[in-house]
């Protein structure tokens, strides 16, 4: 009998029908031996190593992976190419099988011809397994996207010129980026995700430090209900990166493939303002617990704190909230006035993170029962210093820390870019061009009063004018202006500071806020004695601002004489222009919202959607709503004669002073913002 020249193929499958079918098909080209997959199968393999192995992972008697492990650990069996059949069409099974050095993976249901081709390829020397590493080239040939010849050519080119194989293939025009992703995804049993359409969820992105994201080119985009993270990768073959992510996050990783260019775009958005911490001087003589210092100085704690601040600054957040909860350390940040989840960390990290922030803020890390505050200097990548104010407050689960990020973004270049309508702008400019008189900006906390004031001061400052401010706190440093911060603890109140600076020969004074009669009186006196005075108050509209001053006890005639312009302001989020969507609102709905007569039968409004450019929020940047009321002689008489707030309001409307709501409705109709946003800030 002549010994068969056919290669020996072992098929392991416990499904007798499938075994027979495969055996019949492969008998033409191979010398086939089949096993049902029992412990005896392992012995048979060891005794007579085959030329190739085809194994169904879904076995009853033994574990398919145990066979793969045996193949891997037995020197005589290691070179045998293994093709795996599996009903589990998921990445994890695929990945685990590849880690055990398989040549190929075929998911059920399958065409037996496909299996035949893959087996032939596997026996081809060039496709021999390289233990635990996935080969892009082999996968691409298997997918049919490129031929073996084309791959060889590309590999040769790579040897000569360097570069990444996938990149070279795309550059050569051989394949498109999208085809490359699709082919890899198909071969690896993973999803393709279009990062231009799918917005990464901030809580997911926050699971990894930014440096890591950039270095490994991976971006967590979503957290599944079971805690697994969906990881966008340009190269899902990078098992090392997957391992690192798994290790760092202690979560299951579900890779998805994204194109290089979409990834670059997403990363540019997320890394627009990369920052690093300015080195802090050692606070000598501070009594702190050694292990807390050690924990706070631990490289990973430093990296976490650094990346949290960097990310928040990059996302143009105004505040960071570090909140210990019962089971997790929650980190949220306020962007455009609204809180968003940024990250979650295991509670073990809490002491280190809190201590690190307190050390940076020169606070007492041993004091946990009393509120404290401090300051941190932070350096952006463009070497622009950002000032942070840190405040700690004891809470049920430990200290809560909030970090206020003092403005770093440039001021709006003009008043009109704040959102003032041409009519309002004209009135306001008329008031600020005068050398004297009081100007009051009214509105709740966080309505953008300071931005309006800072922008105004920048516009009116000149060498010939001495400008002073008294603020609590100084939110932004302005060049060429003398800024003072109140310090009630040592008795430096608004009134105290104001008293000092009216004697310091000012031209323009900005008083952060009028809270008491003494301050109100001094501000009014300064305004009628040839100074331009700016200030703010907490009232809903312009007319009630005037009356608040009278209620405080300032004589009505003085209010009438001193104040020339009262502005009420709100801040709302501007719709993201890249993703906002048009919608029709019914007349009935318009009325229901309490907005009176609708402007048309069919009212077109815009609603937020969310895209990568706006971090999925649907909004990007902010927009002011303004009521700008200048006080003319008739109104002055009304105020002196003790007219009530409604009469003043009516007088303003009669002079075409737009109310906050009317200004808002105009901005809803032109698509600058959504009606939901208007409701949020005006109700």
578 counts as binding Zn ion under rule CB under 5 A: yes
Q: In whole angstroms, what is the distance from residue 448 CA to residue 475 CA?
A: 11
Bridge partners of 324, per DSSP, are 329
Closer CB to Zn ion, residue 359 or residue 576?
A: 576
Q: Which residue, 428 or 606, is less far from Zn ion as judged by CB?
A: 606
Can you tell me which residue has the tokens 């080239």? 137
| Listed ranges 130-138, 206-214, 426-434, 576-584: which one lies at the site for Zn ion (CB under 5 A) | 576-584
Minimal distance, residue 407 CB to Zn ion, in Å? 23
CA distance 77 to 10: 12
Helix (H, G, I), strand (E, B) or coil at 543: helix
CB of residue 574 to Zn ion, shortest distance in Å: 11
| Position 335 contacts Zn ion (CB under 5 A) | no
The answer to whether residue 579 forms part of the interface with Zn ion (CB under 5 A) is yes
Q: Which is nearer to Zn ion, 267 or 425 (CB)?
A: 267
Contacting range for Zn ion; rule: CB under 5 A; set: 258-266, 348-356, 422-430, 571-579: 571-579
CB proximity list for 188: less than 8 A, separation 6 or greater: 91, 94, 134, 139, 236, 237, 255, 257
Of 254 and 614, nearer to Zn ion (C-beta) is 614
Residue 223: strand pairing partners: 229
41 vs 617, beta carbon nearer Zn ion: 617
Which range, of 82-90, 515-523, 574-582, 629-637, touches Zn ion by CB under 5 A?
Answer: 574-582
Query: Rounded to the nearest whole angstrom, what is the least distance from the CB of residue 611 to Zn ion in the complex?
Result: 3
Give me the sign of the Cα torsion angle 41, 46, 49, 54. positive
Q: Which residues, 538 to 557, sit near Zn ion by CB under 5 A? A: none
Q: How far is the CB of 268 from Zn ion (least distance, A)?
A: 15
Q: In this chain, which stretch among 76-84, 292-300, 345-353, 575-583 interacts with Zn ion, using CB under 5 A?
A: 575-583
Residue 55, exposed/middle/buried by CB under 10 A (0-12, 13-18, 19+)?
buried
CB of 581 to Zn ion, least distance (A): 10
Q: Quick check: 651 and 645 in contact, CB under 8 A? A: no
Nearest distance from C-beta of residue 336 to Zn ion, angstroms: 12
Q: Which is nearer to Zn ion, 398 or 618 (CB)?
A: 618
Quick check: 575 binds Zn ion (CB under 5 A)?
A: no
For residues 564 and 574, which CB has a smaller minimum distance to Zn ion in the complex?
574
* CA 277/CA 486 separation, integer angstroms: 27
CA distance 431 to 577: 33
Strands of the 275-277 sheet, one edge to the other = 275-277, 372-380, 385-395, 398-405, 317-324, 328-335, 338-346
Q: How far apart are CA 264 and CA 259, in angstroms?
A: 9
Nearer to Zn ion, 347 or 609 (CB): 609
For Zn ion, the closer of residues 205 and 354 by Cβ is 205
Phi-psi region of 456 (alpha: psi -120 to 50; beta: other; left: phi over 0): alpha
Structure tokens at 675: 């009606």
Q: Looking at beta carbons only, is 127 or 667 nearer to Zn ion?
A: 667
Report in angstroms how near the CB of residue 616 gets to Zn ion at its nearest.
Answer: 8
Question: Is 268:310 a contact under the CB 8 Å cutoff?
Answer: no
Distance (Å, rounded) from C-alpha 212 to C-alpha 227?
Answer: 20
Looking at the Cβ atoms of 368 and 613, the one nearer to Zn ion is 613
What mask, x for binding Zn ion by CB under 5 A, covers residues 364 to 383?
Answer: --------------------
Q: Closest residue (Cβ) to Zn ion?
A: 576
Give the span between the Cα atoms of 578 and 596, in whole angstroms. Answer: 31
The one segment of 171-179, 475-483, 579-587, 631-639 that binds Zn ion by CB under 5 A? 579-587
Choose the binding region for Zn ion from 156-164, 410-418, 570-578, 594-602 (rule: CB under 5 A). 570-578
Which conformational region is residue 553 in: left (phi greater than 0), alpha (psi within -120 to 50 degrees), or beta?
A: left
- Cβ proximity to Zn ion: between 229 and 611 the closer is 611
Buried b (16+ CB within 10 A) or exposed e, 517-537: ebbbbbbbebbeeebbbbbbb
How many Cβ atoms sit within 10 Å of the Cβ of residue 113?
A: 9
Residues 608-637 that bind Zn ion (CB under 5 A): 611, 613-614
Closest to Zn ion by CB, 581 vs 655, is 581
Least Cβ distance, residue 341 to Zn ion (angstroms): 18
Cβ atoms within 10 Å of 455's Cβ, excluding its own: 18
CA distance 176 to 181: 9
Closest alpha carbon to 522 in 486, 558, 474, 471: 558
For β-strands 229-233 and 218-223, DSSP reports them as antiparallel
Minimum CB separation of residue 209 from Zn ion in Å reads: 25
Cβ-proximal residues to 38 (8 Å cutoff; 6+ apart), any chain: 61, 62
Contacts of 177 (CB under 8 A, 6+ apart): 170, 259, 260, 261
What's the min distance (Å) between Cβ of 26 and Zn ion?
A: 54
How far apart (Å, rounded) are the C-alpha atoms in residues 299 and 317? 25
Distance of CA 191 to the CA centre of its chain: 23
Residues of span 21-40 touching Zn ion by CB under 5 A: none
Count of residues engaged in binding Zn ion, rule: CB under 5 A: 6
In the region spanning residues 592 to 611, those forming contacts with Zn ion, defined by CB under 5 A, are 611
Q: Which is closer to Zn ion, CB of 457 or CB of 614?
A: 614
Question: Smallest gap, in angstroms, from Cβ of residue 198 to Zn ion?
Answer: 12
CB 368 within 8 A of CB 394: yes
Candidates 280-288, 363-371, 419-427, 577-585: pick the segment binding Zn ion (CB under 5 A). Answer: 577-585
- Pick the closer one to Zn ion by CB: 611 or 665: 611
Closest C-alpha to 523, from 552, 562, 485 = 562
| Minimum CB–partner distance for residue 610 and Zn ion (Å) | 6
Name, in order, each residue with C-beta under 8 angstroms of 128's C-beta and a sequence gap of 6 or more. Answer: 79, 81, 103
Q: Residue 670's CB: how many other CB atoms inside 10 A?
A: 10
CB of 372 to Zn ion, least distance (A): 38
Instruction: Give the nearer residue to Zn ion in terms of CB position, either 32 or 221.
Output: 221
CA separation for the pair 122, 137 (Å, rounded): 13
Backbone phi and psi for residue 175, each to the nearest 5 degrees, phi listed first: -135, 160
State in angstroms the smallest separation of the CB of 232 from Zn ion: 18
Shorter beta-carbon distance to Zn ion: residue 589 or 613: 613
Interface with Zn ion, residue 576, by CB under 5 A: yes
Tell which positions 413-442 bind Zn ion, by CB under 5 A: none
- Least distance CB 307 / Zn ion (angstroms): 24
State the minimum distance, in angstroms, from the CB of residue 615 to Zn ion. 8
Q: Provide, rounded to whole angstroms, the least separation between the CB of residue 200 and Zn ion.
A: 13
Residue whose token pair is 């008795």: 491
Stretch that binds Zn ion, among 452-460, 544-552, 569-577, 592-600 (CB under 5 A): 569-577
Footprint of Zn ion on 39-58 (CB under 5 A): none
- Give the binding site for Zn ion (CB under 5 A): 576, 578-579, 611, 613-614
């Amino acid at each position: 009998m002549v010994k068969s020249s056919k290669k020996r193929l072992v098929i392991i499958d416990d499904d007798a029908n499938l075994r027979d079918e495969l055996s019949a098909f492969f008998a033409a080209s191979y010398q086939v031996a089949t096993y049902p997959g029992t412990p005896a199968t392992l012995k048979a393999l060891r005794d007579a190593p085959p030329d190739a192995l085809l194994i169904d992972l879904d076995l009853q008697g033994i574990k398919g992976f145990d066979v793969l492990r045996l193949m891997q650990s037995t020197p005589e069996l290691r070179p045998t190419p293994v093709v795996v059949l599996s009903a589990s069409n998921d990445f994890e099974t695929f990945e685990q099988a590849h880690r055990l050095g398989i040549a190929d993976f075929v998911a059920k249901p399958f065409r037996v011809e496909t299996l035949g081709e893959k087996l032939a390829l596997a026996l081809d020397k060039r496709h021999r397994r390289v233990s635990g590493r996935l080969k892009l080239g082999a996968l691409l040939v298997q997918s049919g996207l490129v031929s073996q010849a084309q791959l060889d050519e590309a590999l040769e080119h790579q040897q000569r010129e360097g570069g990444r194989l996938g990149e070279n293939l795309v550059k050569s025009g051989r394949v498109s980026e999208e085809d490359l992703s699709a082919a890899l995804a198909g071969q690896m049993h993973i999803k393709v995700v279009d990062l231009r359409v799918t917005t990464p969820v901030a809580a997911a992105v926050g699971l990894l430090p930014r440096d890591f994201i950039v270095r490994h080119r991976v971006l967590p985009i979503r957290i599944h209900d079971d805690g697994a993270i969906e990881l966008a990768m340009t190269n899902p073959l990078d098992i090392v990166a997957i391992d690192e992510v798994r290790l760092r996050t202690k979560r299951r990783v579900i890779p998805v493939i994204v194109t290089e260019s979409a990834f670059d775009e997403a990363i540019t958005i997320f890394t627009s303002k990369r920052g690093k911490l300015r080195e802090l001087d050692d606070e000598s003589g501070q009594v702190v617990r050694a292990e807390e210092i050690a924990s706070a100085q631990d490289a990973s704690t430093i990296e976490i704190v650094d990346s949290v601040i960097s990310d928040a600054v990059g996302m143009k957040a105004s505040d960071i909230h570090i909140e210990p909860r019962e089971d997790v350390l929650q980190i949220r940040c306020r962007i455009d006035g609204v809180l968003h989840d940024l990250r979650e960390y295991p509670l073990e990290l809490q002491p280190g993170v809190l201590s690190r922030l307190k050390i940076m803020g020169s606070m007492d890390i041993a004091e946990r029962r009393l509120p404290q505050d401090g300051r941190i200097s932070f350096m952006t990548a463009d070497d622009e210093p950002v000032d942070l104010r840190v405040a700690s407050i004891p809470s049920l689960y430990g200290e809560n820390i909030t970090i206020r990020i003092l403005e770093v973004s440039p001021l709006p270049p003009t008043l009109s870019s704040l959102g003032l309508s041409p009519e309002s702008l004209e009135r306001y400019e008329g008031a600020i061009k005068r050398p004297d008189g009081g100007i009051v900006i009214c509105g709740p906390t966080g309505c953008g009063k300071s931005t309006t004031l800072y922008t105004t001061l920048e516009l009116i400052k000149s060498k010939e004018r001495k400008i002073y401010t008294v603020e609590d706190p100084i939110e932004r440093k302005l060049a060429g202006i003398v800024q003072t911060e109140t310090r009630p603890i040592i008795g430096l109140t608004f009134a105290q500071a104001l008293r000092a600076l009216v004697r310091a020969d000012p031209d323009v004074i900005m008083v952060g806020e009028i809270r008491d009669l003494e301050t109100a009186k001094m501000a009014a006196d300064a305004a009628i004695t040839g100074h331009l005075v700016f200030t703010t108050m907490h009232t809903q509209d312009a007319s009630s601002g005037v009356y608040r001053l009278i209620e405080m006890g300032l004589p009505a005639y003085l209010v009438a004489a001193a104040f020339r312009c009262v502005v009420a302001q709100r801040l709302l989020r501007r719709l993201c222009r890249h993703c906002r969507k048009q919608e029709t609102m019914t007349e009935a709905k318009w009325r229901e919202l309490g907005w009176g007569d609708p402007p048309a039968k069919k009212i077109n409004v815009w609603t937020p959607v969310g895209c990568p450019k706006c971090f999925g929020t649907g909004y990007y940047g902010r927009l002011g709503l303004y009521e700008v009321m200048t006080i003319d002689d008739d109104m002055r008489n009304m105020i002196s004669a003790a007219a009530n707030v409604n009469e003043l309001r009516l007088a303003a409307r009669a002079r075409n002073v737009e109310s906050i709501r009317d200004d808002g409705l105009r901005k809803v109709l032109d698509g600058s913002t959504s009606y939901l946003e208007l409701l949020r800030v005006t109700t």
